[in-house]
Amino acid sequence: MDFAESPKVKVIRESVRAFLQQEVYPLEPELARRGFVELLPVLQEKRRRAKQTGLFAAHIPEAHGGAGLSLTEFAHMSEELGRSPVGHYIFNCQAPDVGNMEILMEYGTTEQKSSWLNPLVHGEIRSCFTMTEPEYAGSNPVWLGTTAKKDGDAWVIRGHKWFSSGAEGAAFAICMAVTEPTAAPHARASMIIVPTGTVGFELLGNLSIMGHRGGDWASHGEVSYQDARVPLANLLGGEGMGFVIAQQRLGPGRIHHCMRWIGICERAFDLMCRHAAKRELSPGKPLGTKQMVQQWIAESRAEIHAARLMVLHAAWKIETAGVHEAREEISLIKFTVARTMQRVLDRALQTLGGLGMTDDTPLGFWWAHERAARIYDGADEVHVEAVAKRILRSYGIKVG
């Protein structure tokens, strides 16, 4: 296993970094003031320019219209994109679309790929993923209240979802619903494509997150399915495969998230160091002369470096051994990198003081919106417990 950056990866990193510095970073203060929706025309123009780099939807194979990067190569790119709150969106590899593209590639029929995957890859439409429900614990993915029943040539879906990121403005949703209620728990649910214009699909509104409802892609929607009818042909994979598909989606998805979090750490670290070097406490005495600040910088550098190597190792194992064999590494990076990000952001905010609380930097945005990193894609506690049980079983201890 070699973590050295290949010449290809170096070129990708340099290209993306230059694009962000020239095209994206200057927009961030205005984005914070005006909001995503108001700035959407400008962001769409940036997406058109991003296509010219040849790295649009870079995680997708060339046969489907992407740049064909391997998971490890894309992990490096994802780190660079993570340095801006809209980096992934501009390069069309943002959640939840990135995972939905992968589901459609793996399980979509020819017709489903033509109707949904192709325009998604080319940035012509967006999508959302409706799985989490307010009435049921999100940490238990096999416990769902939403149902999809056959009625002639259609599925009739009824249920209540929330935290459906990017539902506002999405062309379709992938809905996880119980289709086999008497089957074993992990075989009860299926995934079904639901165009958002379907009668019975209702976006109730965007959830208020830390005081902000957001809009369009930058939002988390609450969705109601009220006897929404879609063709039986909208099923993804086979009946009862919802949990299996979700697990396959989450493995690479956690690599994407974790490297994005590393990018956030790097941007926060850079802001912290620049401020420590330039901000004077008194004439000729910069903030960085304080031992406490020096400690924050050293600890952050060590933790970011360690977290990055863990994620790259997990990506390598997924590519060489598969998601199932890499499940321990995936769980480890999920809670390790999320916690690392929170610590680094906290140190950066403390270093910048009042400036860090303003929208002149993205630190305040990340502090509010990325605290959820320790909750979504499996709460930290679930992953900690899973890793510990796996380790203890190898020592002969019987655990549930």
| pLDDT tens digits along 25-35 | 999 999 999 99
DSSP conformational letter for 84: S
pLDDT at residue number 215:
96
pLDDT at residue number 399:
84
Per residue in 37-55, pLDDT tens? 999 999 999 999 999 999 9
CATH topology assigned to domain 127-236: Butyryl-CoA Dehydrogenase, subunit A; domain 2 (2.40.110)
Q: What residue type is assigned to position 28 of the chain?
A: E
Average pLDDT over residues 368-389: 92
Average pLDDT over residues 272-292: 97
Tell me the two tokens of residue 244. Answer: 């299996």
Per residue in 316-327, pLDDT tens? 999 999 988 999
Q: Which residue has the tokens 């060339």?
A: 62
pTM above 0.85, yes or no: yes
pLDDT at residue number 31:
94
In the predicted structure, residue 204 carries a pLDDT above the cut 90: yes
Average pLDDT over residues 88-104: 96
In the predicted structure, residue 207 carries a pLDDT above the cut 70: yes
pLDDT at residue number 247:
83
Predicted confidence band of residue 395 (pLDDT cuts 50, 70, 90): very high
Give the start-to-end residue ranges of the domains of the chain: 7-121, 127-236, 243-393
Do 243-393 and 7-121 have the same topology in CATH? no
CATH topology assigned to domain 243-393: Butyryl-CoA Dehydrogenase, subunit A; domain 3 (1.20.140)
Tell me the two tokens of residue 23. Answer: 């095209």
pLDDT at residue number 10:
95
60 vs 398, more confident: 60
Per residue in 221-240, pLDDT tens? 999 999 999 999 999 999 99
Is cis: bond before 134, omega within 30 of 0? no
Could you tell me how many residues make up the chain? Answer: 400
CATH topology assigned to domain 7-121: Butyryl-Coa Dehydrogenase, subunit A; domain 1 (1.10.540)
In the predicted structure, residue 101 carries a pLDDT above the cut 80: yes
The set of residues, in sequence order, having a beta carbon less than 8 Å from that of 45 and lying 6+ positions away, is none
Q: Which residue has the tokens 């992938």?
A: 174
In the predicted structure, residue 253 carries a pLDDT above the cut 90: no
Burial class (CB in 10 A: 0-12, 13-18, 19+), 300: buried
183 vs 4, more confident: 183
Average pLDDT over residues 275-292: 97
CA 92 to chain centre: 12
In the predicted structure, residue 1 carries a pLDDT above the cut 70: no
pLDDT at residue number 240:
96
Predicted confidence band of residue 15 (pLDDT cuts 50, 70, 90): very high
- The answer to whether 235 touches 155, Cβ cutoff 8 Å, is yes
pLDDT at residue number 320:
93
Per residue in 149-187, pLDDT tens? 999 999 999 999 999 999 999 999 999 999 999 999 999
The set of residues, in sequence order, having a beta carbon less than 8 Å from that of 212 and lying 6+ positions away, is 368
pLDDT at residue number 249:
78
Indicate the average pLDDT of the chain. Answer: 95
287 vs 2, more confident: 287
Q: What DSSP line would sit under 225-258, residue for residue?
A: EEEEEEEGGGEESSTT-HHHHHHHHHHHHHHHHH
Counting residues of the chain whose pLDDT is more than 70, the rounded percentage is 99
Average pLDDT over residues 119-135: 97
